[in-house]
């Protein structure tokens, strides 16, 4: 019998700084000194970078490089517990993606990511450190960006910390801001142009490197949404695709959402429970996915499914590469009694395109 599971890890609450910015943006007409107006906020993704034919697209994920610029960028993050991988590449460049899950006092996971785009000459062209939703006092963006950028651009990290600290100080000193504006700040050095705001986080655009055609492949591991949606409905998901990219399964607090390029699935996230009684799984994966994980290609479906089932049996998390596919599992364990286990797992397969 299917039993409902709670899904604490996918319910985020805004942090104190996020709440502060909502108040600032709504209260009044006075400008905030020390920050600039958002007349032209940076475009995410930059215009035209994915409007190209396939250019040697490779969507098979690889471990983070062990040398060169990518290794230097990711070394301080990996030392701090982040998972990093080269997630896709093409003739013009390669995308590196890093991620860590911050757990709060209620065992909910607040994911933080960092994205890097390198050109074919191994130079960093573009980087993004999005904000998290956590309610911590320390600034996760500066804590991640400063050591990573310093590793390849001397002095960049100290400037990042100072600019973000000044920005936050201005926000706490002023309580009014026009509702149509988003406070942001920007600066440049010999390496890059930087922008920071409370919606997008930190973006760095290199001054001496660029990638014209950004990698967009996902065919190694993912199928299309149109081919998968009927199987999702058969598993009890309410799916209205197109145009919706998110499906819900109310009887088990389940969800399934994707990022797409056209109809092609780029990344998928879903939540599923686990109920172990007398050493046996009482909530089989087939309840949600009666025909298996058909949104995955046949080449990766079996090994990815086996990795998910391993975490469902043990109630443990995982971040790694399985059959050339990024797999992230955040497990929240409930009651444990001998061989009995109740858990809820938030699962991500693949990664979104850079800057999306």
- Residue holding tokens 């604490």? 8
User: Which residues in the chain land under pLDDT 50?
Assistant: 1-4, 6-34, 37-38, 135-137
C-alpha 294/C-alpha 229 separation (Å) is 9
The predicted structure's pLDDT at residue 173: 77
> What is the rounded CA–CA span in Å between residue 111 and residue 351?
13
Radius of gyration of the chain (CA): 21
Beta bridge partners of 88: 95
| Cβ 193 vs Cβ 207: under 8 Å | yes
Residue whose structure tokens are 């596919």: 325
Instruction: Report the pLDDT value the prediction gives residue 38, as an integer from 0 to 100.
Output: 45
Note whether 293 and 305 are within 8 A (CB).
Answer: yes
Q: How far is 274 from 166, CA to CA, in rounded Å?
A: 46
- Which pLDDT score, from 0 to 100, does residue 180 have? 59
φ, ψ (nearest 5 deg) of residue 225: -70, -35
324, 61 Cβ separation under 8 angstroms:
yes
Where are the domains positioned within the chain? 16-206, 218-349
236 contacts 179 by C-beta, under 8 angstroms = no
The 10 Å Cβ neighbour count of residue 110 is: 20
Q: Token pair 């993004």 is at which residue?
A: 128
């Amino acid at each position: 019998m299917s039993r409902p599971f709670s899904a604490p890890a996918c319910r985020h609450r805004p942090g104190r700084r996020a709440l502060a910015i909502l108040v600032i943006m709504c209260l009044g007409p006075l400008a905030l000194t020390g920050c600039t107006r958002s007349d032209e906020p940076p475009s995410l993704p930059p215009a035209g970078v994915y409007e190209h034919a396939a250019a040697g697209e490779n969507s098979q994920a690889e471990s983070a490089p062990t040398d060169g610029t990518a290794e230097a960028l990711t070394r301080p993050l990996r030392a701090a517990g982040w998972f990093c991988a080269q997630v896709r590449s093409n003739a013009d460049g390669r995308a590196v993606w890093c991620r860590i899950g911050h757990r709060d006092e209620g065992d909910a996971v607040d994911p933080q990511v960092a994205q890097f785009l390198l050109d074919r000459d191994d130079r960093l062209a573009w980087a993004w450190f999005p904000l998290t939703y956590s309610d911590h006092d320390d600034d996760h963006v500066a804590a991640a960006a400063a050591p990573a950028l310093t590793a390849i651009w001397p002095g960049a990290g100290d400037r990042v910390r100072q600019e973000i600290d000044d920005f936050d100080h201005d926000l706490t000193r002023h309580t009014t801001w026009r509702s149509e504006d988003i406070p942001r700040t920007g600066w440049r050095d010999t390496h890059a142009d930087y922008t920071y705001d409370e919606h997008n986080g930190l973006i760095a655009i290199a001054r001496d490197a660029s990638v014209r055609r950004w990698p967009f492949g996902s065919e190694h591991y993912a199928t299309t949404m149109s081919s998968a949606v009927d199987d999702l409905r058969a598993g009890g998901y309410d799916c209205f695709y197109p145009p919706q990219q998110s499906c819900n399964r109310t009887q088990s607090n389940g969800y399934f959402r994707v990022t797409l390029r056209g109809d092609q699935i780029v990344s998928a996230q879903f939540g599923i429970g686990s109920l172990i009684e007398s050493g046996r799984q009482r909530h089989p994966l087939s309840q949600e996915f009666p025909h298996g994980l058909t949104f995955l290609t046949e080449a990766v479906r079996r090994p990815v499914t086996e990795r998910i089932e391993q975490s469902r049996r043990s109630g443990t998390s995982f971040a790694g590469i399985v059959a050339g596919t990024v797999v992230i599992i955040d497990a929240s364990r409930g009651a444990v009694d001998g061989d009995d286990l109740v858990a809820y797992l938030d699962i991500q397969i693949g990664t979104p395109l850079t800057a999306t």
